[in-house]
Amino acid sequence: MHSAVAETSSTGPARVVQTVEEHIVEIVSDSGEGAQTCGQMFADICARNGNGVWTVEIIPAEIEPPSRSRAGASGNRIRLGSKPVNNSGDSADLVVALNEQVLYSRIDAGALRPGTLVLVDSSWAHHPDDEIRTRYAAALEDFRARGYRLIEVPIEQECLKHADGD
């Protein structure tokens, strides 16, 4: 992709931005939450910046799956590179998961490898339903045991700052 630069900040140490030749990104959520559209928009931006792009939609296993279920994974896999790419690649380098349960379907499909970086929406850790909080905590423990690098991100909270709605 583009060249690496060192970013400096008056508030902290310099960060080094690493250039990679190609990367596979997945964005997954429950069906109907917009992960496919998000992935398409991300791919479009990458292509407009001169990167090679290949996308594959992640289609739910069921027609109307229940929310927060393995069968409900919907989204997009985007492979981008500094040169043209001609397939979807093997394992994701980065996954953005709007809930932890849909991530299981991607694991079951062999789409991740140990070391995959997973950004997971942390809103489920504070959900009013005890069972959802328990399932969230157990899943994160399982993902770490499988060797995924997890970062909990307040995705819903941050999105609501910029959008109307519940």
CATH number of the domain encompassing residue 25: 3.40.920.10
- Domain range for 73 is 20-160
Residue 33: inside a domain: yes
Q: Which whole number is the average pLDDT over 9-16?
A: 73
Enter the pTM of the model.
0.86
Q: Who has greater pLDDT, 107 or 20? A: 107
Q: Is 123 within the bounds of a domain? A: yes
Residue with tokens 């069906």: 31
Between the CA of residue 67 and those of 32, 62, 64, what are the distances in Å?
Answer: 10, 11, 9
**Helices (DSSP H) in 19-129: which residue ranges?**
35-48, 100-108
Q: Are 116 and 48 in contact (CB under 8 A)?
A: no
Q: Let me know if residue 4 belongs to a domain.
A: no
Q: Residue 15 domain-assigned?
A: no
Query: Using the 8-state DSSP alphabet, how is residue 122 labeled?
Result: G
In the predicted structure, residue 53 carries a pLDDT above the cut 90: yes
Residue 22, SS3? strand
Question: Exposed e or buried b for every residue in 20-56, given b needs 16+ CB within 10 A?
Answer: eebbbbbbbbbbebbbbebbbebbeebeeeebbbbbe
Domain count, the chain: 1
Q: Which amino acid is at 32?
A: G
Identify whether the C-beta of residue 127 lies closer than 8 Å to the C-beta of residue 136.
yes
For the chain, the average pLDDT equals: 90
| Torsion angle in degrees (nearest 10) through CA of 81, 83, 87, 93 | -20
Q: How many residues does the chain have?
A: 166
Q: Is residue 14 part of a domain?
A: no
**Any domain includes 99:** yes
d(CA 134, CA 126): 10
Which of 31-35, 77-81, 93-97, 147-151 has the weakest average pLDDT?
Answer: 31-35
88-139 residue pLDDT tens? 999 999 999 999 999 999 999 999 999 999 999 999 999 999 999 999 999 9
Residue 5, amino acid: V
Q: 105 and 96 in contact (C-beta within 8 Å)?
A: no
Domain assignment present for residue 39? The answer is yes
Instruction: Assess if residue 30 is contained within a domain.
Output: yes
